[in-house]
Amino acid sequence: MSENTWLVVGLGNPGPGYAGNRHNVGQMVLDELARRIGSTFTRHKTPAVVAEGFLSPGGPKLILAKPNSFMNLSGGPVSALLRFYSLDPSRLIVVHDELDIPFDSLKLKSGGGHGGHNGLRDIAKAADTPDFIRVRVGIGRPPGRQDPADFVLKDFGSTERAALPTLLAEAADAVELIATEGLAAAQLKVHSRS
């Protein structure tokens, strides 16, 4: 595989019942990226659906993947994808929901802890490293005393849904920036907006 190839994984849960959940925002971002590169998701030899394409002629190749597993078991599919494409975890970008960031905000980072996010925990364990890039899409904290586990498995509210297309586009822009300009340049641009 070319050194200009990126595996971009959108976290979420499989099936139409979960498609609009806050927990599935990573997969929503991948839908936007697939649209941009003119590709559609198809079944793959690994436990995932995959869409592939180039950001521009001669530009970075994106392998967009949605694991077929539930969020907490994302590690197996991600490690299988890394092996299948012979990619190092340094070429992995994981797009996921983040409770600790306000809705409509993005943060980019490489490595670090999982912050209680079981999908990230499972990927770090299966890949044998926490050193992969994360595009953290803010969904905010649950209101009142609502259990975070219930909150992430609910669909976005009507006010959030109105702002969601812009948030998904900005997260897709962030992935493109990482692939074309590197993480540090992407962080400068993305974090200066918040």
**How far is residue 93 CA from its own chain's centroid?**
7
Q: How buried is residue 60: exposed, middle or buried, by Cβ count under 10 Å (0-12/13-18/19+)?
A: middle
The residue annotated as part of the active site, out of 23, 44, 96, 117, is: 23
Output the CA–CA distances (angstroms, integers) from residue 194 to 102, 103, 136, in the order listed: 10, 11, 13
Q: Which residue type is seen at 115?
A: G
Please indicate whether residue 191 is annotated as part of the active site: no
Rounded Cα distance between 148 and 23, Å, is: 11
To 10 degrees, what angle do helices 118-127 and 75-84 make? 40
List, by residue number, the catalytic residues.
23
